[in-house]
Amino acid sequence: MRLILVGPPGAGKGTQAKRLVSQLNIPHVSSGDMFRAAIKNGTELGKQVQEIMKQGHLVPDEVTIKMVIARIKEDDCESGFMLDGFPRTRPQAEALDAALAADDLSLDAIVLIEAADEVIIERITGRRTAPKTGAIYHIKFNPPPEGVEVTQRADDTEEAVVQRMKKYHAETAPIIPFYEAKGLLKSVNGLQTPDQVTEDILSVLGVRKS
């Protein structure tokens, strides 16, 4: 299955992707995680994107497209992938379509996880991640187990979140009609419990829970 998870910051894309990929047996391809790994490893790409991300701006399309298209051409993506955080602009959506079409491939679905702006700040400012495992926690909704070391993302400040939400509405939300017109769009309510959201995603994809 070739899938895209889309939704505002804090909608639960990463949380749901981690739960779904083992069931669907496809790799989780998160553009945000790839950029964060580049920053952590001190690569040229990391240096280029560090400040942009910290401020909640979007990395330029040409940089992002090159990185993600190369990733989905790797062997483990042959039978499918779950994209999280890409595409998030119209040029990125068109580049993905063109890259897939060149290999006679196409997307199966784009799942929109809907979440109101009001809940986003609380979700994001309370998020903690475990650097060792990549697990995503929340100080109130999903507290990390005792003894697990957690950190906060550099772009999880209130200021950066406001900027990320602006970018989402201005740049990313407009790609939704592009996929709707292709009949690929499936929407789920992201304001439910994580278990309920997972169940709804599997249901809109027509996958039976194993």
Contacts with ligand AP5 by CB under 6 A lie at 7, 9-15, 31-32, 35, 52-53, 56-59, 64, 85-86, 88, 92, 123-124, 126-127, 136-138, 141-142, 155, 164, 193-194, 197
3-22 binders of Mg ion (CB under 5 A): 13-14
Nearer residue to ligand AP5 within complex by CB, 10 or 27: 10
Question: What is the three-state SS of 39-79?
Answer: HHCCCHHHHHHHHHHHCCCCCCHHHHHHHHHHHHCCHHHCC
Q: State how far the Cα of 74 lies from the Cα of 58, in Å rounded to an integer.
A: 24
Out of 71, 123, 127, 128, the active site residue is 127
Active site residue 2: no
- Do 165 and 120 form a contact (C-beta atoms < 8 A)? yes
Nearer residue to ligand AP5 within complex by CB, 104 or 195: 195
Active site residue 128: no
Q: State how far the Cα of 210 lies from the Cα of 207, in Å rounded to an integer.
A: 9
Which residues are the active-site residues? Answer: 13, 88, 127, 153, 164
